[in-house]
Amino acid sequence: MLTVACRPDETPAQWCARATGDYIAAMATFQIEGHRLSIVGLSQLAAGYPTLDDGYDGALDSLEDADNERSEAATELDRETLATFRPAPRLKWRHGGRFALYRE
């Protein structure tokens, strides 16, 4: 598995957009390979045609790597967004109108 990291000149938003594009391209390739394998007749499968050939395996590996990168990019984007836009503190109401803040 490849180590995934943001490129030095990319913001997390750009990284997430690039990783999503890579994922869509990998998904399209995987679907094409799956369709190609589905076209193979049962007679060829019985004759020993490899159902999981190198093209299919490569497409599946690319899809998995792209999904991992997209997931890490989305996590980093969420982390950056949360640091910029922190949620308001939650209030805990008590009897008599007093309140306290929840610790996060």
DSSP 50-100: -SS-HHHHHHHHHHHHHHHHHHHHHHHHHHHHHHHSPPPPPEEE-GGG-EE
What pLDDT is stored for residue 37 in this prediction? 76
Domain range for residue 69? Answer: 12-101
* Residues of the chain predicted below pLDDT 50: 1
53 assigned to some structural domain: yes
3 assigned to some structural domain: no
19 assigned to some structural domain: yes
26 assigned to some structural domain: yes
54 assigned to some structural domain: yes
What pLDDT is stored for residue 25 in this prediction? 93
As for how many domains the chain has, the answer is 1
pTM: 0.65
32 assigned to some structural domain: yes
Q: Are 73 and 23 in contact (CB under 8 A)?
A: no
What pLDDT is stored for residue 81 in this prediction? 80
76 assigned to some structural domain: yes
